[in-house]
């Protein structure tokens, strides 16, 4: 139960990748089907055949109706809810409660956000989800600690890390050649674009970088978030373009303004010499973009949000000061100046993520599901 492509969002991509891994590992004996959340989609979205139910996120009657249908469907043995704030309708998720109060099948809820020191409204939501589910799945070890300490939830928690794609490790030159960046030192960031990404912090670091490495190229990969595009248009991207022009970086910072299909995205990640994250917040407990980049064996430079602090150790990358362009510049120059360090960091991120390949993630989920069916 989640968003799902063609809707463009990180949870939709996550769910599609997980469903594909289930199909590869367990079909035809076990099959996974999808219940989609439809708010913001066209009236008749063209979903793939694995989608069997659709819910209008803004209609509590839909949640109850679909739960009743699932109760009557003998083939459905368990429901996995991919939970993120903003996906489900109603004030404080009371529409999702219509589903959870009605469903009679076992329920496993995957939490994509676990915020420390939460406001009471958020705390009560997570406590309610724990009460109504058979198990909570989180994607970082730190999330278990937070749930116990800040939410008072002490049981029914399982850690299954965010999945990554199975790609072979290779130096960046092969993918750079394919993408015509052979003579560049490529830095990249990807994801749906919004002001919360704070890409300006990295852009402001680039003048110092190109003084030493004139062939450095920073790629900002991704479309503007559909919600931001609807409400603000390309206001943030245009602001970044003005900054790029002001700093005379037109040859060193480029946008790839597309929501890339996974194979193309992986090519861009493999073409990167360093993957860079930025942002305003420190409480993000899981990052799909960070996971995918590490899964491709790329060194990482990141601001110290929760997931990065857990995964970006000194032998895999560098944590920089929040919002500090000088800190980004120093880290980028450090890694670009030392090819052996860059190579060892890349190999270490690749080695670390082997337990996170989607086939292993699917097996871990199946182990949980069988426990509660």
What pLDDT was estimated at residue 16?
96
Which residue has better confidence, 279 or 330? 330
Rg of the chain, C-alpha, whole Å:
21
Look at residue 24 and tell me whether its pLDDT is greater than 70.
yes
Domains and CATH numbers, the chain: 10-163+357-372 (3.40.50.2000), 172-354 (3.40.50.2000)
pLDDT digits (tens, 9 = 90+) for 35-69: 999 875 666 678 999 999 999 988 899 999 999 99
Look at residue 363 and tell me whether its pLDDT is greater than 70.
yes
Q: Which single residue is written with the structure tokens 């931001």?
A: 228
pLDDT digits (tens, 9 = 90+) for 253-281: 999 999 898 999 999 999 999 999 999 88
Which residue has better confidence, 230 or 152? 152
CB < 8 Å & 24+ apart, contacts of 31-35: 33/76, 34/1, 34/2, 34/4, 35/1, 35/2, 35/66, 35/70, 35/79
DSSP letters for 241-282: HHHHHHTT-TTTEEEE-S---HHHHHHHHHT-SEEE---S-S
């Amino acid at each position: 139960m989640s968003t799902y492509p063609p809707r463009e969002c990180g949870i939709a991509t996550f769910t599609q990748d997980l469903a594909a891994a289930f199909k590869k590992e367990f079909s035809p004996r076990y099959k996974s089907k999808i219940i989609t959340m439809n708010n913001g989609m066209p009236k008749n979205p063209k979903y793939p055949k694995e989608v069997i139910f659709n819910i209008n996120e803004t209609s509590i009657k839909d949640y109850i109706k679909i739960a009743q249908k699932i109760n009557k469907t003998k083939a459905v043995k368990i429901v996995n809810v991919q939970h993120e704030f903003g996906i489900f309708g109603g004030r404080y998720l009371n529409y999702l409660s219509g589903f959870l109060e009605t469903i009679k099948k076992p329920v496993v809820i995957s939490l994509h956000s676990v915020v420390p020191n939460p406001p009471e409204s958020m705390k009560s939501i997570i406590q309610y989800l724990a009460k109504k589910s058979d198990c909570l799945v989180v994607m970082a070890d730190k999330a278990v600690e937070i749930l116990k300490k800040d939410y008072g939830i002490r049981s029914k928690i399982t850690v299954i890390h965010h999945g990554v794609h199975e790609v072979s490790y290779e130096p960046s030159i092969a993918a750079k050649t394919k993408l015509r960046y052979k003579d560049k030192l490529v830095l990249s960031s990807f994801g749906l674009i919004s002001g919360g990404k704070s890409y300006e912090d990295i852009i402001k670091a680039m003048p110092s970088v190109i003084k030493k490495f004139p062939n450095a190229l920073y790629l900002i990969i991704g479309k503007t978030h559909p919600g931001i595009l609807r409400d603000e248009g390309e206001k943030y991207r245009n602001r970044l373009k003005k900054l790029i022009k002001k700093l005379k970086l037109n040859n060193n910072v480029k946008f790839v303004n597309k929501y890339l299909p996974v194979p193309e995205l992986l090519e861009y990640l493999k073409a990167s010499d360093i993957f860079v994250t930025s942002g305003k917040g420190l409480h993000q407990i899981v990052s799909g973009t960070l996971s995918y980049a590490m899964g491709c064996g790329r060194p990482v430079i990141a601001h110290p949000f929760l997931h990065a602090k857990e995964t970006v150790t000194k032998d895999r990358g560098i944590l920089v000061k929040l919002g500090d362009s000088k800190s980004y510049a120093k880290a980028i120059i450090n890694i670009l100046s030392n090819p052996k360090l860059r190579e060892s960091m890349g190999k270490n991120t690749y080695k670390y993520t082997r337990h996170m390949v989607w086939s292993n993630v699917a097996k871990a989920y199946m182990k949980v599901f069988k426990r509660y069916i």
